[in-house]
Amino acid sequence: METRREFLKHGALLAAGGMGGGMLLGQTPPAGKEASGKDPAPRPAAGVPPTLADSRGFAPRLKLSCAAYSYRQFLEKEKAMTLDGFIEKCARMGLDGTELTSYYFPRTEPEYLSHLKRKAFLLGLDISGTAIANDFCRRPGPERDKDIQHVKAWIGHAARLGAMTIRVFSGGVPQGDTEEAARARAIEGFKECCEHAAKEGVILALENHGGLSATSEGLLAICRGVDSPWFGVNLDTGNFHTDDPYRDLELAAPWAVTVQVKTEVTPKGKQKVEADLPRILNILRAVNYRGYVALEYEAEEDPMTAVPKYVEKLKALLS
């Protein structure tokens, strides 16, 4: 596992790349800044993750989606919205995609999944991804086996939906266990699931979501351990509660295969503050990110009014 000093060194390389967008293919690096590889426009920081090697040399391209979790109280508690209704809302907001969180699927038989896929297609939307819950740090036993089978089942569901990514979690260290042992089990579980994901053409995206993935170091230690082209990061921009969340976002961004953008950040020991959305998008551009940015709204304002407002802000920043 790399030391904090090595991560800071990687971050320095990222900073050297600038925050305003990556170089285009064939463009000469600025004087005194040589590209660290044979390609003319490698991704900065920590080499090129295996998941992202095919996108080297391409300019950034950010597409806008929305996570169903943004409307969780309507989809789960009040039952005032269905996934069909959420897909329609995404279309009315003029989005490119729709992220269908697994928690709100009333069923997962093939006919229903095909129905959702067709509906999104006819409304001009990609299903940008889905999101599930799991804990791969569990000790061997029925609960761990259940989680692994759950991930494998949703790999099949995502493939039928036409979704390229599934948001997954690492889990935390069980009581009385060690971080090293828990990480080894998480890596082992993800490797097993990646073999299945490769057959279905779906990428597993590990979220920075507490536990072993609470920091960029912990998150990337798992990614490097899995070392699969079918494994990357779901970069949640509001989930690093460290001294400098933006620094951790910079370090993890080269591994992102999908992004969930929050409207707030919470530095360690401080209150929530409004997220610097231009800075976040520039972090993604600096590593030539090409993929979906899904708004995942969790702030206090009613999402019925807040989500469309933030969608318009993001559209303006992406235009």
For residue range 101-128, what is the model confidence (pLDDT) as tens digits?
A: 999 999 999 999 999 999 999 999 999 9
Residue 114 is predicted with a pLDDT of: 98
Place of tokens 């990337």: 220
Place of tokens 């259940």: 146
pLDDT beyond 80 at 225: yes
Give the SS3 label for residue 263.
Answer: coil
pTM of the model: 0.84
Q: How many CB atoms lie within 10 A of CB 136?
A: 26
With CA atoms as reference, report the closest residue to 81 among 303, 312, 296, 293.
303
Please say whether the beta carbons of 177 and 141 come within 8 A. no
Place of tokens 């998941």: 51
pLDDT beyond 90 at 284: yes
Please say whether the beta carbons of 60 and 285 come within 8 A. yes
Residue 106 is predicted with a pLDDT of: 94
With CA atoms as reference, report the closest residue to 204 among 169, 236, 165.
165
Confidence band for 76, pLDDT divided at 50, 70 and 90 = confident
Helix then strand then coil, in percent of the chain rounded to 5, is 45, 15, 40
Assigned CATH for 61-318: 3.20.20.150
CA dist., res. 120 & res. 72, Å (int): 19
Mean pLDDT across 197-222:
96
pLDDT beyond 80 at 250: yes
With CA atoms as reference, report the closest residue to 129 among 275, 307, 259, 276.
259
Mean pLDDT across 219-236:
96
CA dist., res. 263 & res. 297, Å (int): 7
pLDDT beyond 60 at 26: no
Q: How many helices (H) and strands (E) does the chain have?
A: 10, 10
**pLDDT tens digits, residue range 229-241?**
999 999 999 999 9
Look up residue 270 and give its DSSP letter.
S
CA dist., res. 10 & res. 256, Å (int): 16
**pLDDT tens digits, residue range 141-187?**
999 999 999 999 999 999 999 999 999 999 999 999 999 999 999 99
